[in-house]
C-alpha cells in the first residue's frame, strides 16, 4: 500500500490530485490518501450544481464549489472534516462500498466509537451520519473516497446545501442538522484532527507495510495543470443547463433521478439527466441516444426496453424510467 501525503487544503488541487493518482500512480500497489479541504461544497458528478447549493451562503462565506468525478449527493467540507481515498486495481465494475468502508468502521470501533455501515454508502453512529462514500471506475481501477466528520461545524453543513424534502422523508428525519454527527463526540479522549488522522492510519494498517510516496515536482506540475484546466473551470463545476421545456424528478431505489428535455416539433432536441445516483457508465451516451426520438410514450418505452437502463441506473427497470419522461 502506498500512502501519499497531501497537506493541501485547496479543494481544486485535492480533487485533481485524486484523479492524477488514479490515472498515473495507482497500479499493482494500491494507494491511500488522507486530505482536508477548506470550506467547500463538493457536488456529485451527475448533479445540477445550481439546484444543490445555497448561493447566499456560498457568496457570504466565500465557500468554494467544485464537482467531483464520482456520483452521489453534494457534501460540505471544512477543516473539521477528514477525507480518505482508496485507489486500487479492480476489474469488477459493480459498486461495492462495504469493501472500503468496513476497514474504517473497524478502525473506529477499535477506538471505542460505535460506528456502523448504514444503507449502501453511509457510515453512522447511533443512527446519525458522519460519512458519505462514493466510487469511480477507470480502466480496471477503482477509486473509493469518503468523508469523516470529525469536528465540523454542523450548522454550516446544514446551511450550505439545499436538500430535497423527499430525501429527509426517506431517512425519517426533518433536517440535515438532525441527521449528522461528529466522531469527536464519541471519543473517550480529546484529539486534534491531526492526532486523529495519525491514529486512524495506525489502526487501518496495523500489521501491514505502508510505503510513503511523496509527490515530486513533475507530479505537482501535472496536478496543477489538471487543477487549472478542469477543476477550476465553470464548465466542469456548473456546466450547461439549457432552458428545458419539460423537467421531472423522482426518487428511485438508486437515488433521485431528474430528467430535463428540450422538445421542438414533437422531437427531443436536448436531454440531460441529473441526480444523486451512482453510475459507472457514460450518461452522455444515453442522453445522445434519446436526441431525435419522437416525444411519445411508445417510442421512449421502446428505446429503454432496447438499451436496458439498469446498465446506467442500478435496479431501475425500463418501465419505471419511461414514466419519468411524462407528467
Which cell numbers hold the place of 59? 457568496
The reported pLDDT for the residue numbered 179 is 86
The reported pLDDT for the residue numbered 174 is 42
* CA dihedral of 316, 319, 321, 324, whole degrees rounded to 10: -140
Same domain, 126 and 226: yes
The number of folded domains in the chain is 2
Last residue of a domain, one of 197, 213, 237: 237
Check whether 28 has a pLDDT greater than 50.
yes
What CATH number is associated with residue 26? 3.30.930.10
Check whether 7 has a pLDDT greater than 90.
yes
Q: How far apart are CA 82 and CA 183, in angstroms?
A: 11
The reported pLDDT for the residue numbered 165 is 54
Q: What predicted TM-score, i.e. pTM, was given to this entire model? A: 0.90
Given a contact cutoff of 8 angstroms between Cβ atoms, the answer to whether 85 and 14 are in contact is no
Same domain, 93 and 213: yes
The range of the structural domain enclosing residue 40 comes to: 2-237
Same domain, 255 and 177: no
Residue 170: band (very low, low, confident or very high) from pLDDT cuts 50, 70, 90: very low
The reported pLDDT for the residue numbered 119 is 84
Nearest to 47 by CA among 29, 32, 22, 67: 67
Last residue of a domain, one of 202, 237, 272: 237
> Using one digit for the tens of pLDDT, what is the confidence trace for 37-80?
999 999 999 999 999 999 999 999 999 999 999 999 999 999 99
Q: 117-121, 167-171, 181-185, 251-255: lowest mean pLDDT where?
A: 167-171
Same domain, 63 and 155: yes
Same domain, 27 and 140: yes
The reported pLDDT for the residue numbered 176 is 62
Same domain, 146 and 11: yes
Residue 171: band (very low, low, confident or very high) from pLDDT cuts 50, 70, 90: very low
Nearest to 148 by CA among 193, 81, 101, 198: 81
**Which residue stretches of the chain are H helix?**
11-20, 49-52, 55-61, 98-110, 154-160, 165-171, 193-204, 217-226, 234-237, 283-290, 297-307, 318-323
Element (H, E) at 260: strand 255-264
Percent of the chain residues past pLDDT 70, beyond the cut: 95
Last residue of a domain, one of 215, 237, 259: 237
Same domain, 157 and 23: yes
Check whether 317 has a pLDDT greater than 80.
yes
Same domain, 6 and 86: yes
What CATH number is associated with residue 280? 3.30.390.50
Same domain, 54 and 128: yes
DSSP 185: G
Q: How far apart are CA 322 and CA 326, in angstroms?
A: 8
The reported pLDDT for the residue numbered 177 is 57
Same domain, 135 and 205: yes
Q: Between the CA of residue 28 and those of 15, 23, 24, 216, what are the distances in Å? A: 22, 13, 12, 20
Same domain, 181 and 298: no
Same domain, 255 and 226: no
Amino acid at each position: 500500500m502506498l500512502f501519499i501525503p497531501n497537506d493541501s487544503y485547496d479543494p481544486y488541487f485535492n480533487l485533481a490530485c485524486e484523479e492524477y493518482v488514479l490515472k498515473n500512480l495507482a497500479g499493482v500497489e494500491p494507494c491511500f490518501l488522507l486530505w482536508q479541504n477548506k470550506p467547500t461544497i463538493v457536488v456529485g458528478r451527475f448533479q445540477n450544481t445550481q439546484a444543490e447549493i445555497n448561493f447566499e451562503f456560498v457568496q457570504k462565506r466565500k465557500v468554494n464549489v467544485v464537482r467531483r468525478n464520482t456520483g452521489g449527493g453534494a457534501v460540505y467540507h471544512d477543516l473539521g472534516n477528514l477525507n480518505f481515498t482508496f485507489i486500487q486495481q479492480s476489474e469488477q465494475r459493480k459498486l461495492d462500498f462495504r469493501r472500503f468502508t468496513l476497514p474504517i468502521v473497524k478502525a473506529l470501533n477499535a477506538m471505542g466509537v460505535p460506528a456502523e455501515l448504514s444503507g449502501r454508502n453511509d457510515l453512522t453512529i447511533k443512527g446519525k451520519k458522519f460519512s458519505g462514500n462514493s466510487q469511480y471506475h477507470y480502466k480496471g481501477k477503482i477509486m473509493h473516497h469518503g468523508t469523516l466528520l470529525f469536528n465540523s461545524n454542523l450548522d454550516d453543513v446544514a446551511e450550505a446545501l439545499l436538500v430535497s424534502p423527499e430525501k429527509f422523508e426517506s431517512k425519517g428525519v426533518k433536517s440535515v442538522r438532525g441527521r449528522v454527527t461528529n466522531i469527536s463526540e464519541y471519543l473517550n479522549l480529546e484529539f486534534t484532527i491531526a492526532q486523529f488522522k495519525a491514529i486512524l492510519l495506525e489502526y487501518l494498517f496495523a500489521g501491514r507495510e505502508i510505503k510513503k510516496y511523496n509527490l515530486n515536482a513533475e507530479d505537482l506540475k501535472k496536478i496543477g495543470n489538471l487543477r487549472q484546466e478542469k477543476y477550476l473551470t465553470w464548465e466542469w463545476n456548473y456546466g450547461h443547463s439549457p432552458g428545458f421545456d419539460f423537467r421531472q424528478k423522482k426518487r428511485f431505489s438508486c437515488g433521485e433521478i431528474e430528467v430535463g428535455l428540450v422538445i421542438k416539433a414533437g422531437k427531443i432536441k436536448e436531454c440531460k439527466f441529473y441526480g444523486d445516483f451512482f453510475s459507472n457508465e457514460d450518461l452522455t451516451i444515453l442522453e445522445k441516444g434519446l436526441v431525435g426520438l419522437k416525444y411519445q410514450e411508445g417510442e421512449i418505452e421502446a428505446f429503454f426496453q432496447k438499451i436496458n437502463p439498469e446498465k446506467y441506473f442500478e435496479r431501475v427497470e425500463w418501465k419505471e424510467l419511461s414514466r419519468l419522461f411524462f407528467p
